[in-house]
Amino acid sequence: MIMFKERCALSEQVENEWKPVSSGTIFIYYDNEIYGTRINFSDDCNVVLSNTLIGLNTEMKISQNVCTWTAVEAANNLYQWRNLQAAFETEDAAEQFYITFREGVTYAEHSDIVDNIPTFADPEDDNVVAN
């Protein structure tokens, strides 16, 4: 179930500098398999460039029309921590993204979902799992 959908420009922090990733569509959606939520970003060709879990330990900051968070990236199955930033066209869109993110943290609290790099590799499971 899609809880939030909006266009934005996604950036990633690399060596303390924000580098553009792409413009496209960012979603927050409820994942029935984990009873929690994820943030997914796809470019204009519908290529998934980011898919992160919202866990108890996921923090987000908002400043004007920009939201910034750190999470384990699962889109490429490499499972690495990634600092991400979504720049929206309006402050209202950023605020709605942040509010929906906070709702996702509530789901994480109810399901005890912690965002972490998996300690084992299961070829059947391409999701960051709850502890």
- Asked if residue 117 is part of any domain, the answer here is no
CATH for 15: 2.30.29.30
Domain hosting residue 44, numbered range: 2-111
The pTM (predicted TM-score) of the whole model is 0.87
Number of domains comprising the chain: 1
Model confidence over 70-95: pLDDT tens digits?
Answer: 999 988 787 899 999 999 999 999 99
Task: Report pLDDT digits (tens) over 35-73.
Answer: 999 999 999 999 999 999 999 999 999 999 999 999 999
How far apart CA 3 and CA 98 sit, in angstroms, is: 12
Q: 92 vs 4, 40, 41, 123, CA distance in Å?
A: 13, 19, 19, 40
